[in-house]
């Protein structure tokens, strides 16, 4: 007890002890460490290089890592390198194939069209500098690269032809996975086509619209009368039999024709048309010879005025006359060049010969009118359904407005009347069916 009182009131015998407050004493401020290295702990081989920087392995990768730490990277890198090499090889080969096609077909295109390629430079007239002609034949100016496996070409400036579009389609050589999968799928699935090199050329006919599209003006600024480039609208095609099923399934215009073999054509080709009289007028000996020479590289040649996809509106049924050619490039260009020339001149043949008797065109128009009636009927049914939905919406809004203006008892009576009307209506339907 005395010790406690002494701690409380102090002691005159000496100074008060602070041992009990040792935990609350502030820690001394830290002093900066010396940057002078302790050479006694550094290996003898590193004492000279240590200088004023502490020794550390952070920047010495060869001491903190070994080749076994990169096993995963070493396994992945060969595959990445292989894919990159495959990509470079595939893109270069596709470009080279497109350049070869342009080099082989440029003379024929320049012979038939005034402007070839995307530069907009007209072909040189007779007697002009040969260097200009050489510049026009440059393959790089004849096509554009749409993607690594698609290339396009263009030509215009010809009688009876508004313009020509060419689409070259190459295998996807730049992607080894897709390239191999397409081959595998084509082996197991008949509907899956194997990757191939081919081009599709599409000619759009003027059909008498030269004055609207390309007005011709003479040197004295007087308009020149455009030639008559109209011809009857119809569908006529020559198709390789191995492509006939896909051709009919993929194209609406081909689906409304009938197939018939022609003794003048090879046994592997057939005609798809709307009238046999059309075949007699358009199947020329030069065209037959070109198709025979093309052989299995030939896929189809079609002259049509109907859309590629099935029309869903009346506006889609407006005739648009065009000619399309699809050719495979598996055996080179020499065998298919005559067919390409016949294709470019086929518009002239249509303007000269595709004018048929009224009875023939009446049959052709009957099929088209039948399709138009189906579309019109579908549009009317769709409009009637829309009107019905709109009327029901108005009726529902009016019912909700009436219910909001009623009290609870009036709402109950209103709902009861509705229920009774619905019951009587259902009973009436049941009685009528019985």
Is the pTM here over 0.95, yes or no? no
Task: Look at residue 48 in the predicted model and tell me its pLDDT.
Answer: 47
Question: What pLDDT, on the 0 to 100 scale, is given for residue 121?
Answer: 63
| DSSP state string for 303-363 | EESS-SSPP-SGGGGS---EEEEEEE-TT-STTTHHHHHHHHTHHHHHHHH----HHHHHH
CA neighbours closer than 13 Å in the CB half-sphere of residue 150? 6
Q: Is 230 helix (H, G, I), strand (E, B) or coil?
A: coil
Q: Which residue has the tokens 């050589």?
A: 173
Say what the pLDDT of residue 286 is: 94
Tell me which residue of 298, 294, 340, 304 sits closest to 204, measured CA to CA. 304
Residue 408, pLDDT score: 85
Coil, strand or helix: which one is 282? Answer: helix
| Secondary structure of residue 430 in the 3-state scheme | helix
For residue 105, with 0-12 CB atoms within 10 Å meaning exposed, 13-18 middle and 19 or more buried, which class applies?
Answer: buried
Mean pLDDT by 10 residues, the chain (434 residues): 46 47 52 49 48 61 76 86 91 92 90 85 54 56 88 91 93 87 83 86 88 61 67 94 91 91 93 91 93 93 92 86 93 89 94 90 88 88 90 88 85 84 77 62
> Which of left, alpha, beta for 51 (phi over 0: left; psi -120 to 50: alpha)?
left
The DSSP 8-state label assigned to residue 170 in this structure reads -
- Which residues have CB under 8 Å from 102's CB, separation 6+? 139, 140, 142, 143, 153
Q: How far is the first Cα of the chain from the last one, in angstroms, to the nearest whole number?
A: 115
Position 267 scores a pLDDT of 93
pLDDT score, position 217: 53
Sign of the alpha-carbon torsion through 314, 320, 323, 326: negative
The answer to whether residues 293 and 266 touch, using CB atoms and an 8 Å cutoff, is no
């Amino acid at each position: 007890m005395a010790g406690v009182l002494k701690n409380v009131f102090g002691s005159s015998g000496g100074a008060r002890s602070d041992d009990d407050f040792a935990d609350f004493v502030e820690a001394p401020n830290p002093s900066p460490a010396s940057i002078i290295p302790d050479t006694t702990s550094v290996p003898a081989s590193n004492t000279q290089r240590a200088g004023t920087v502490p020794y550390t392995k952070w920047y010495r990768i060869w001491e903190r890592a070994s080749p076994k730490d990169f096993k995963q990277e070493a396994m992945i890198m060969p595959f990445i390198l292989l894919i990159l090499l495959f990509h470079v090889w595939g893109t270069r080969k596709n470009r080279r194939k497109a350049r070869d096609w342009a080099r082989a077909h440029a003379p024929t295109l320049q012979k038939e069209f005034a402007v070839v390629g995307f530069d907009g430079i007209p072909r040189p007239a007779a007697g002009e500098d040969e260097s200009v002609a050489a510049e026009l034949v440059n393959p790089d100016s004849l096509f554009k690269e749409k993607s690594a496996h698609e290339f396009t070409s263009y030509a215009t400036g010809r009688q009876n032809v508004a313009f020509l579009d060419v689409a070259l389609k190459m295998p996807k050589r730049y992607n080894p996975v897709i390239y191999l999968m397409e081959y595998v799928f084509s082996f197991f699935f008949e509907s899956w086509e194997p990757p191939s090199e081919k081009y599709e050329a599409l000619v759009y006919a003027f059909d008498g619209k030269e004055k609207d599209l390309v007005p011709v003006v003479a040197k004295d600024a007087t308009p020149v009368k455009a030639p008559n480039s109209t011809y009857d609208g119809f569908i006529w095609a020559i198709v390789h039999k191995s492509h006939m099923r896909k051709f009919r399934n993929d194209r609406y215009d081909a689906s409304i024709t009938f197939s018939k073999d022609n003794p003048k054509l090879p046994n592997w080709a057939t005609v798809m048309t709307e009238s046999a009289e059309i075949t007699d007028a358009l199947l020329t000996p030069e065209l037959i010879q070109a198709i025979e020479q093309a052989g299995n590289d030939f896929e189809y040649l079609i002259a049509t005025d109907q859309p590629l996809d099935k029309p869903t509106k009346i506006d889609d049924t407006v005739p648009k006359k065009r000619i399309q050619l699809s050719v495979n490039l598996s055996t080179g260009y020499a065998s298919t060049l005559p067919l390409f020339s016949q294709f470019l001149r086929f518009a002239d043949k249509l303007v000269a010969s595709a004018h048929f008797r009224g009875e023939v065109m009446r049959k052709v128009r009957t099929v088209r009118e039948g399709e138009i009636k189906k579309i019109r009927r579908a549009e009317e049914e769709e409009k009637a359904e829309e009107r019905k939905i709109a009327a029901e919406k108005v009726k529902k809004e009016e019912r909700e407005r009436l219910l909001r203006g009623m009290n609870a008892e009036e709402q109950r009576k209103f709902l009861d009347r509705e229920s009774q009307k619905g019951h009587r209506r259902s009973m009436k339907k049941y009685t009528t069916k019985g």
